[in-house]
Amino acid sequence: MSSKWTLADVPSQAGKRYLITGGNSGIGYYAALELARRGAVVVLACRDKARAEAAARQLTTESGGGVAEVIELDLASLDSVKRVAGELVARGVAFDALINNAGVMAPPKRQETKDGFELQFGTNVLGHFALTCKLMPVVKERVVTLASIAHKRGRIAFEDLQSKASYNPMRAYQQSKLADLMFAFELERKLRAAGSPVASIAVHPGVARTNLFKIGSSRGLAKVAENVLQTSLGVLFGSGPDGAIPTVFAATAPAAQGGQYYGPQGFQEMRGGDVGVAFVSDAAKDVAAQKRLWDVCAELTRVDLA
């Protein structure tokens, strides 16, 4: 695949339908915008319905009349995930691709999901795991899962997946993104074994200025530091629109291959207006760990592929 692929290469998306978690802001929004501009129907699956509806209206305007729908989905609640997925499957409306985009990044204090899981692992990993497994009957072509260059420093702490013994914000985030990448690889293996036409593809956005860096709990000097960080990221690294390019590639390009991991091709994969094959850490390549992680996720969520 040429590393020169850009948004200009996206084919018409007329007649296609995409579900994007966390599509109301950041990379998810920009990916949805590019798909809608080319004729796709995009479904924004988001926790905050009001914000998602506002984003859908903005997307329709920016895309010149693109179609955006909204589904209220809380990935930090397995009840919400299972209910929403069940309703979508019952409706029988297929999606050309499911884009597992939503994420939580490094809250300073340990928090838990409604099911008692550490927030980042529960949302970034378990929520998407359950959603993907439950939605497979209505996914036609691809599952795109967002990982991160942060996975390079990640370690799957099977002995303390929920960070109860020790919580470090970035370490927990790195673990969750490593887990997302391993999930995407194991999903591809299972889909091929089952003879499925669906491909599992992983991507990362580089380092883009998005709401992941806005944790919403900062005050005083910490708030000033947060604002400086966001401004610096916008100057030194990639923008939200650039960060969405690998996602759009994985969702639409005929050259995107199942079992691959794609990202921007700029310095240290941190930015760039194109996309190519990304670096995969040794930990992410561990097939035995991928299988073990899958089994743990299935046990914790009580969900698995049919």
DSSP 166-220: ---HHHHHHHHHHHHHHHHHHHHHHHHHTT-S-EEEEE---SB-SGGG--S---H
* CATH entry 3.40.640.10 includes domain 7-207+243-297: no
Residue 299 to residue 201: CA distance in whole angstroms: 23
> pLDDT at position 213, please?
41
Q: Residues 22, 291, 88, 36: is their CA dihedral positive or negative?
A: positive
What are the tokens at 124?
Answer: 């970034």
Active site residue 30: no
End-to-end CA distance of the chain: 33
Confidence of residue 207 (pLDDT cuts 50, 70, 90): confident
- Helix orientation angle between 128-135 and 287-301, rounded to the nearest 10 degrees: 80
Cβ-count burial 118-129 (b if 16+ within 10 Å, e if not): bbbbbbbbbbbb
CA distance 153 to 159: 18
Task: Give tens-digit pLDDT for 249-272.
Answer: 999 999 999 999 999 987 556 666
Domain boundaries, the chain: 7-207+243-297
The pLDDT-based confidence of 161 (bands split at 50, 70, 90) is: very high
Catalytic residue selected from 18, 29, 30, 173: 173
- Among 240, 238, 247, which residue's Cα sits nearest to residue 268? 238
Which of 153-162, 214-223, 235-244, 263-272 comes out lowest in average pLDDT? Answer: 214-223
